[in-house]
Amino acid sequence: MKLRFLGAAGEVTGSCLLVESDGVRFLVDCGMFQGGRDAAAKNRRAYAREIGPIDFVLLTHAHIDHCGLLPRFAWPRHGSGLPSIYCTKPTADLVPVMLADSAFVQSRSAARGRRGRASATETPLYTADDVRRLATRLHAVPYGVEFRPHPQVAVRLHNAGHIVGAASAEVRLADGGRRRTLVASGDLGEDSALLVRDRDPPPAADVLVVESTYGDRNHRSLQDTETELVEVLHEVLVERRGNVIVPAFALGRTQEFIVLLYRLAKAGRIRVPLVFVDSPLAQQAAEATFAHLDAVDEEAAEFHRAERARKLPFTLRYTESVEDSMFLNSIRSGAVVIAASGMCDAGRVRHHLRHNLPRRECAVLFTGFQAAGTLGRRIVDGARSVPLFGDQVAVNASVHTLGGLSAHAGQDSLMQWLRAAPRKPRKVLINHGEPLAAHTLSARLARELKWSATIAEPETEYEA
């Protein structure tokens, strides 16, 4: 078995793993690179790259850094035909929504380029028509049910607890005349997430590929996270009479944060006058998420029922038009504005940052990982000013990070998942983590489980 990491090696975006064994070639994920000045160039190279015939694709979940380059398979290449893409039902529902938004963002950026505006990109990698064509190749399968994407391959998808529909892939295949099992963790969530049901333990594996986004640190407990959020909201909304801007990923994090607000407001711990979700994509993601109540946590399902009955303990509004979004910047106090993108490199959140970052009475509340090179990372790291729309904008608002709300497992939680493995894998490869995180997790695996792990390098082929 040969494995080659075409992305998410030494970094946390661009997930794409090429697997070859006894004449079978398939991908696990095909995601976009995000963050940093070279992301656009890396995506263009990856999209155009000829990787040869692919028998099928296993997709772990619908975040754009895992599915964002799938439209490369909207058209046959060199007569190889269109591969089928296998994923869970929630993921199959969400992928067209996420990719259509990606195509729209690219087309808008290209239009800016034609007008000579800054922050433009080249010709879009794909269009809405490509997304519609690609969507016909999606095949939804239930968790835990074995299916055969190829005569030589049997697969089961297990709940990864990351976002709705997220999966770890268990792949049994022929390799050198014997049957072997590859397990790819995908993105793993905490063991007790707010939005989705608890993750499954790992199946037995000969070869294990595990993510390491937070391999070097742990998150705050949910109890401490709730306490911090209560304090921030009270200080900013009540005492300082400002706004709270929440950069959040449209899929997963936005829905989880709103469920947390519901949980705290229901308990009488917070009073939030106005909550705005300024992201049409987040609204579509919410609709797709809560269409699968069997995949969400009971409290999240309770929130959904209360929202439909109009019995939420706060005012929740989704803004769709640009005019509605612009109106939010006239609100001087009392508002929680949740907007994409989660790392502040694009989207409507940048406009809200421009209007609220200079105001000492306001706050920016980060709820997730900020990759190196992103605007969000610069703010978290203490920048005194940041570039927005051609101007240097002072960072006078307070900056907070809710460490316990990440959809990615922290170090202890990753170790808990790995300890649950039925037996020691013959080979372990660590990916989807910046170098310090990956090496720290590897050291702990060696120290506590006596597992020798290899840190995945980009474009390097591994015999497993």
The span from the CA of 147 to the CA of 163, in Å, is: 22
CATH number (3.30.70.2860, 3.40.50.10890, 3.50.50.60, 3.30.70.260) of 222-405 reads 3.40.50.10890
Residue 135 has which token pair? 């969507």
The residues, ordered by sequence, that sit 6+ positions from 332 with a Cβ below 8 Å of its Cβ are 241, 242, 243
CA distances for 297 relative to 163, 300, 331, 386, angstroms: 11, 5, 33, 38
CATH number (3.60.15.10, 3.90.870.10, 3.40.50.1820, 3.90.550.10) of 2-217+407-463 reads 3.60.15.10
Q: How many CA atoms lie within 13 A of 225 on its CB side?
A: 21
Amino acid at site 93: D
CATH 3.40.50.10890 positions along the chain are: 222-405
In the predicted model, residues of the chain with pLDDT beneath 50 are 118-119
CATH 3.60.15.10 positions along the chain are: 2-217+407-463
The span from the CA of 383 to the CA of 373, in Å, is: 13
Is there a contact between 56 and 26 (Cβ–Cβ < 8 Å)?
yes
Give a three-class secondary structure readout of the chain.
Answer: CEEEEEECCCCCCCCEEEEEECCEEEEECCCCCCCCCCHHHHHHHHHHCCCCCCCEEECCCCCHHHHCCHHHHCCCCCCCCCCEEEECHHHHHHHHHHHHHHHHHHHHHHHHHHCCCCCCCCCCCCCHHHHHHHHCCEEECCCCCCEEEECCEEEEEEECCCCCCCEEEEEEEEECCEEEEEEECCCCCCCCCCCECCCCCCCCCCEEEEECCECCCCCCCHHHHHHHHHHHHHHHHHHCCCCEEEECCCCCHHHHHHHHHHHHHHCCCCCCCEEEEECHHHHHHHHHHCCCHHHECHHHHHHHHHHHCCCCCCEEEECCCHHHHHHHCCCCCCEEEEECCCCCCCCCHHHHHHHHCCCCCCEEEECCCCCCCCHHHHHHCCCCEEEECCEEEECCCEEEECHHHCCCCEHHHHHHHHHCCCCCCCEEEEECCCHHHHHHHHHHHHHHHCCCEEECCCCCEEEC
Is there a contact between 434 and 12 (Cβ–Cβ < 8 Å)?
yes
Amino acid at site 411: Q
pLDDT at 406: 82
